[in-house]
Amino acid sequence: MSRIFSGNIHIFHAFDVGEDVDLEQIKQTPSIVRRPLAPSKYFKNYHKPLSIELPHPHSTSFCECVKIYPFGVIALHYKIPFESTFEKLRHDIVELDNEFREQSVSDASVIYRVIEKSIKKPTFFHISKSYNVVQIKTSEDLPGTLLAEQFGGTIASILRFEDEQLAEHKKNEILKRAFGYYRGDLIITDTEAAFVYDDEYEDTLDLFEFVNIQHLELQYFDRVLDKHLTQAYNKGTLPITIKEYLPIWGSFKITGIDNLDAIKVEISVITERLENSIKLTGEPYYSELYKALSTALDLENWKVSIERKLEIVRDISSLYESRANTVREDFFSILIIILIFIELVIAIINFWRV
């Protein structure tokens, strides 16, 4: 007979809905019900979110938490309890994932309509990211290592949302990332979900949510840079306008590239603060978990991609500024020549009049 397990499925959804959010203005909104937010000892106060109740009307009783972040993100956390075999959970988790993807869009749209006036450049939604955590209650007769040996194949399928057993090398690829702090614990991280065999896991939930948001923002900034770099390349083929020849006007507007400098600063500040928000010194378990999540979600490559594109932004800005300065210098030279010529003509006319 298959063994029955109980626990919770935690689903984290994050939506990027604009550039900035005025949290103070949202606090004054009559339909917003604030919830107390206990500060985590593992995070600094950068980008401290506003925790609220899910506004009515809504159709779910599984929404555990709603957070609004000042850099334009709505984060939702759903908690779904379950009691079943791993085989049944493997079938159910796909349906649950699809169901709560739709539910999260519905719930986030309700929040968005309430706070839209408090968002700079609101859009529902630029991009979204989700991450699932399957938490299983522990049993003394089944330590984490033995659980992985007996049910590793099914756990790997659950984390990949697959209804069939994975190939042996794929299963091993997922299970080799397993680790634990105490003998009975087990955590396995993957690209879309994580498996947690632990009863005292609540402190890790903030970390899962944070990494999902970090992943969201890195992808969003990567898209923003792609868009503006494409525009910059296209503008590079256009002739310089007459206004850009003028020294004062041109210093404020250099072929529209000045927007890239503002974007560069904004992205640098937010990514730096997201990077430095976690304080895990002296916490080997949470440091290992964050490292495992970062590796599973490929955060380092996203950071490298963004930094590379920021370097291109810096190069383009320098190139266009140099180009505009050269054009202005040539324009000044022509003006001086024209003025000298005019003075010469006036001098000749005056000479002949005399």
Answer yes or no: is pLDDT of 122 > 70. yes
Tell me the per-residue pLDDT of 154-180, one tens digit each, with 9 for 90 and over: 999 999 999 888 999 999 999 998 988
- On the CB side of 99, how many CA atoms lie within 13 Å of its CA? 11
Answer yes or no: is pLDDT of 71 > 80. yes
- On the CB side of 51, how many CA atoms lie within 13 Å of its CA? 11
The one-letter amino acid code at 69 reads Y
Q: Is 147 exposed, middle or buried (0-12, 13-18, 19+ CB in 10 A)?
A: buried
pLDDT at 59: 63
Beta bridge partners of 20: 120
pLDDT at 318: 72
* Distances, alpha carbon 83 to alpha carbons 34, 87, 92, 134, 286, in Å: 32, 12, 11, 12, 27
Give the other-Cβ count within 10 Å of 283's Cβ.
15
Answer yes or no: is pLDDT of 69 > 70. yes
Of 67-76, 208-217, 243-252, 328-337, the one with minimum mean pLDDT is 243-252
Q: What is the dihedral of CA 49, 51, 56, 60, to 10 degrees?
A: 100
Tell me the per-residue pLDDT of 177-195, one tens digit each, with 9 for 90 and over: 898 877 678 999 999 999 9
pLDDT at 252: 43
CA distance linking residue 218 with residue 210, whole number of Å: 12
- On average, the pLDDT of the chain sits at 84
Strands 20-21 and 50-52: unpaired
Confidence band for 13, pLDDT divided at 50, 70 and 90: very high
Q: Is the peptide bond prior to 210 cis by the omega test (within 30 degrees of 0)?
A: no
Residue reference for tokens 């493997």: 90
Tell me the per-residue pLDDT of 247-274, one tens digit each, with 9 for 90 and over: 545 444 444 455 666 777 777 777 776 7
Beta bridge partners of 43: 278
Confidence band for 307, pLDDT divided at 50, 70 and 90: confident
